[in-house]
Amino acid sequence: MKKYFLKLYHYNAWANDRVLSCLERQSVNDEKTLSLMSHLLVAQYLWLHRIEGLPKPNYELWQRYPLTKLRIMNTEISQRWLTFIERQDTFERVLKYHNYTGDYFENQVEQIMIHLVNHGTYHRGQIALHLRQQGYDPINTDYITYDRVISGQWKV
């Protein structure tokens, strides 16, 4: 599982970085786009803090952060997730937690980790749609594109 999660979380960092670069290149600064990207990154902090037993992060789940802050957040949380994965032998531990509305749940860490990358993919798709609707050009963040790039089959 470790190899799988390393690949998945490297992809997640790459995809987030591509979206941020796309927003920077086109000077996108609208509230909806930045709110979605902010939510995506804050969720990554929130889940890692839960898994590691840390206090709630100093970010609000639905607050809009500026693009410069999002760049810093993505770099930091991506590295923290990769470090976390490297240090684990198994991901089957059950996490008992309350979500942001106070509801109690129990899930295996590996299920949470799969969910989190899917959550990011979902919101990156929303961002792409929103960009297109606003007249901007979205960026390709498909996993297969990532795989082609890292294998040297394709240059982006």
Q: What is the full per-residue pLDDT of the chain (156 aa) written as tens digits?
A: 999 999 999 999 999 999 999 999 999 999 999 999 999 999 999 999 999 999 999 999 999 999 999 999 999 999 999 999 999 999 999 999 998 889 999 999 999 999 999 999 999 999 999 999 999 999 999 999 999 998 888 776
Domain boundaries, the chain: 2-150
Confidence (pLDDT) at 153: 86
Q: What CATH architecture does domain 2-150 belong to?
A: Up-down Bundle (1.20)
Sign of the dihedral defined by the CA atoms of residues 101, 104, 56, 9, in that order: negative
CB count in 10 Å sphere of residue 48: 19
- Given this model, what pLDDT does residue 156 score? 67
* pLDDT at residue 17 in the model: 98
The CA distance from 126 to 35, in Å, is 11
